[in-house]
A = this chain, B = another copy of it.
Amino acid sequence: MARVIVDVMLKPEILDPQGQAIAGALPRLGFSGVSAVRQGKRFELELDGPADEAALSDVRKMAETLLANTVIEDFSIKVEE
């Protein structure tokens, strides 16, 4: 059994109002030193088998069809040790 992480973030050219709201709230809460925030999604997938090439190819298809909207979002896949 392996765990695979899929991180989904808005593409850099897409406006991220959630992240901007957080960046705007930080100074009001007394935090300085953060110039920008972007918010995305993180998915943890528990695989039945090992995270071999076939399984990761499947995860890539899942990310493309279900987890990310590839018109506005980028995703990255990594295997958690």
Interface residues of A (CB under 8 A from B): 1, 7-9, 19, 22, 25-26, 29, 31-49, 55, 58, 61-62, 65-67
Partner of A34, one of B19, B29, B33, B46: B46
Q: Which B residues are in CB contact (< 8 Å) with A1?
A: 35
Q: Is the CB of B35 within 8 A of A46?
A: yes
A22 to chain B, nearest CB (A): 7
Q: Is the CB of A22 within 8 A of B66?
A: yes
Partner of A39, one of B43, B55, B61: B43
Tell me the bound Cα distance from A9 to B42 in angstroms: 8
Using known A-B contacts A42-B39, A42-B41, determine if residue A48 contacts B34 with beta carbons closer than 8 Å. Answer: yes
